[in-house]
Amino acid sequence: MNVSQTHADAEEDVLPPAPPRPAAPLRPILQRALEDAAFAADVAVDGDRLVLTVVTWTVPWSPQLSAEAAREWMRESGIPGEARRAGPHVALHLPTSSSVHRLVAVLLEARSRLHATARGLTRELKDRGVDAKAAADPDVIALRLEGDHLASAVRFAELLGAPDIALDLKLVGPRGRYRLAERIEYLVTGITGSPVNAVTEAACAHADDSLSLYLSVDQADLLLQRLTHLTRDSPAPDGEDQAPPASGDES
């Protein structure tokens, strides 16, 4: 067989590359990813493209309202597309499905995990009768435990296997609250394997005593796993009212 003919036949058998898939059909997927990540933005279809108009101020480029900065961030992140000003906001123009998937991976996946973990902590603790609220900031989960004389913080420690954490503490005073925060820091540090920070606030006219733990998403994940494991087979308390902490001399 003629060699040149063989090459010609081989070239005819090679399929041309598939054209890029348009971004527009992925609008529901992008909207769901934005909701899961609590990322405030509007999504519109422009022909085959998706236009993501960013409303939140929490963005990975600076200054926040600079289309040029957003464009440079997209380039460095490997997101095909364009960034332009849209009135008072910046709009990201995503031409293909690959640009949408890349944006979700770079911008939204970590935020989604953060918010999912915060929701899981809140749900798990409330199911066990603990007055708790976990809120996700850009890089930190703040777990707030409220209750008269820090009863929810004491119950939280009981769930983690420390029923006597408030022994000999007077939680009506600042010293007792400080010592409880210190003990809970040690407890949670032992569970997560890395230092955590706990801060207490005294009650005021509009809020009960509270203790807040500041956790990375990895720490919060480990804490959630421990709570889920420890509480799955244990009964929930009979009511929302928590037993008062032990009284005695502060140590």
Does residue 99 lie in a domain region?
yes
* Average pLDDT of the residues in 114-119: 96
Lowest mean pLDDT among 39-43, 109-113, 179-183, 204-208: 204-208
* Average pLDDT of the residues in 98-103: 98
Does residue 248 lie in a domain region?
no
Does residue 192 lie in a domain region?
yes
**CATH number of the domain residue 51 falls in:** 3.90.1150
CA distance 29 to 82: 20
95, 151: one domain:
no
CA distance 188 to 143: 12
- Give the pLDDT confidence score for residue 127 in this predicted structure: 93
106, 176: one domain:
no
Is the CB of residue 111 less than 8 Å from the CB of residue 118?
Answer: no
**CATH number of the domain residue 197 falls in:** 3.30.1360
Across the beta sheet with 210-215, what order do the strands follow?
132-136, 141-146, 210-215, 197-201
* Exposure of 99 in the CB half-sphere (CA atoms within 13 A): 24
Q: How many CB atoms lie within 10 A of CB 209?
A: 22
Give the model's confidence band at 99: pLDDT under 50 very low, under 70 low, under 90 confident, else very high: very high
2: CB partners within 8 A, 6+ apart: none
Tokens of 44: 């519109």
Q: Which residues of 153-177 are buried (b: 16+ CB within 10 A; e: fewer)?
A: bbbbbbbbebeebbeebbbeeeebb
Q: With a cut of 60, say whether residue 25 has pLDDT above it.
A: yes
Local structure of 91: helix, strand or coil:
strand
Does residue 183 lie in a domain region?
yes
Domain boundary among 83, 110, 137: 110
pTM of the model: 0.79
Question: How many domains does one find in the chain?
Answer: 2
Name the CA radius of gyration of the chain, rounded. 26
- Give the pLDDT confidence score for residue 162 in this predicted structure: 94
Secondary element (H or E) of residue 3: helix 3-13
Domain that holds residue 222: 128-231
Does residue 83 lie in a domain region?
yes
Does residue 43 lie in a domain region?
yes
Phi, psi (degrees; rounded to nearest 5) at 43: -115, 125
Which tens digit of pLDDT belongs to each residue from 47-92? 999 999 999 999 999 999 999 999 999 999 999 999 999 999 999 9
